[in-house]
Amino acid sequence: MLILLTNDDGIHAEGMLAAEKELKKIGQVLMVAPDREQSASSHSLTLERPLRLQKVGEERYTCDGTPTDCVMMAIHGILEHRLPDLLVSGINHGANMAEDVTYSGTVAAAIEGSTMGVPSMAVSNTDPDNKKSYQIAARFTARLANRFKELNLPPRTFLNINFPKLKDDQIPDYKFTGLGQRTYKDIIIKKTDPRGKDYYWIAGEAVWESINGTDYKAIDDGFISISALKMNFTDTETIEKLKDLKLKL
C-alpha cells in the first residue's frame, strides 16, 4: 500500500510524525507537508507565485504552499500522476468538526485527494496537549487505513475523523456521525503598532450544540467521531421546492 501523508501543521508536527510511524507498519509512506503552519488555509491553491519542493529525508518532502498544494505536488509531481492507494491528512493539532471543516487545511487535503479519486481521510486530535493521545490516535488511524477498502465508500466521499480526550491508555470506541453545529462569538481585536498604524486580530469563542448523531456529541461523550463527507454543496431538497416557485424578476 502506498500512503500519501500530509497535514496543515507543518512537516515537524507531532501528530504527523506519530501517524508516519504507525502507517509505515502497514505500507509505504510518502510524506509531503507544508514547510510552515497552514491552519485554516481551507482548500486554497497557490497560483500567483511558483512553488518550491524540498526533499528533507527518505520519502519526505516539504512544500512552501498549502495542504492542497502539497497533494497536487505529490501526485502530479513526485509520483508523476500515479495515484496513491490512500491519502491521510493529519493528525491535526486540534479538532475539525461541524462548520470548521470548511476552514480546515487538514480537511482540504482530504477533499483534494478524494476529487482525484484517491481514498482519503482527515484525522484530528481534540486533545492536542496530551502527548500520549497522538500515539493512540495514530494506532487507530493505521488500523482503519489497513481496512479502509472494506468501507466501500462511494467515489469522492472521504472520512473526517476526530479523537476525544483520553480517559486512559486505551483506544476509545467509535461512532459514525454527521457534522454538528457551532457558532462563534466572533470579535475583532484592534491594536496599534509602534509606528501608530492599526492592526487587527480575529478572535472569538466557539459555542457548540450537542445534537445526537453529530461529531461534537460523539466527542463530548468520549467516542471517536467518524464522518463520511463529500464535496457537493447542492441542497437537492430546496432545489425541488424552488422549481415550482415563479418569481417576477
d(CA 20, CA 15): 9
Cell numbers at residue 22, please?
A: 504507525
Q: Average pLDDT, whole number, for the chain?
A: 93
Range 113-124 average pLDDT: 97
Is residue 193 very low, low, confident or very high in pLDDT (cuts 50, 70, 90)? very high
pLDDT at 119 over 80: yes
Is residue 36 very low, low, confident or very high in pLDDT (cuts 50, 70, 90)? confident
Q: Which residue in this structure is represented by grid cell 510511524?
A: 21
Strand locations in the chain, DSSP E?
Answer: 2-6, 28-34, 53-57, 60-63, 86-93, 120-125, 157-163, 174-177, 181-192, 198-209, 224-230
Identify the structural domains of the chain with CATH numbers, from first to last: 2-181+210-242 (3.40.1210.10)
How many DSSP H helices and E strands does the chain contain? 6, 11
What's the chain's length in residues?
Answer: 249
Rg (CA), the chain: 19
Is residue 221 very low, low, confident or very high in pLDDT (cuts 50, 70, 90)? very high
Neighbour tally for 162: CB within 10 Å: 26
The string of pLDDT tens digits covering residues 47-71 is 999 999 999 999 999 999 999 999 9
d(CA 31, CA 62): 8
Q: What is the DSSP string of 121-146?
A: EEEEES-TT-HHHHHHHHHHHHHHHH
d(CA 209, CA 27): 39
d(CA 65, CA 81): 19
Contact at 8 Å (CB) between 101 and 67? Answer: no
pLDDT score of 40: 79
The string of pLDDT tens digits covering residues 134-155 is 999 999 999 999 999 999 999 9
Range 194-205 average pLDDT: 88
d(CA 161, CA 87): 13
pLDDT score of 204: 75
d(CA 202, CA 117): 36
d(CA 36, CA 33): 9
Contact at 8 Å (CB) between 162 and 219? Answer: yes
pLDDT score of 162: 98
Whole-number percent of the chain with pLDDT over 70: 100
pLDDT at 205 over 80: no
pLDDT score of 153: 96
Please report which helix (H) or strand (E) contains residue 104, including its range. Answer: none
d(CA 137, CA 90): 10
Neighbour tally for 182: CB within 10 Å: 17
Is residue 156 very low, low, confident or very high in pLDDT (cuts 50, 70, 90)? very high
pLDDT score of 246: 85
Of 191, 189, 224, the residue nearest 203 (C-alpha): 189
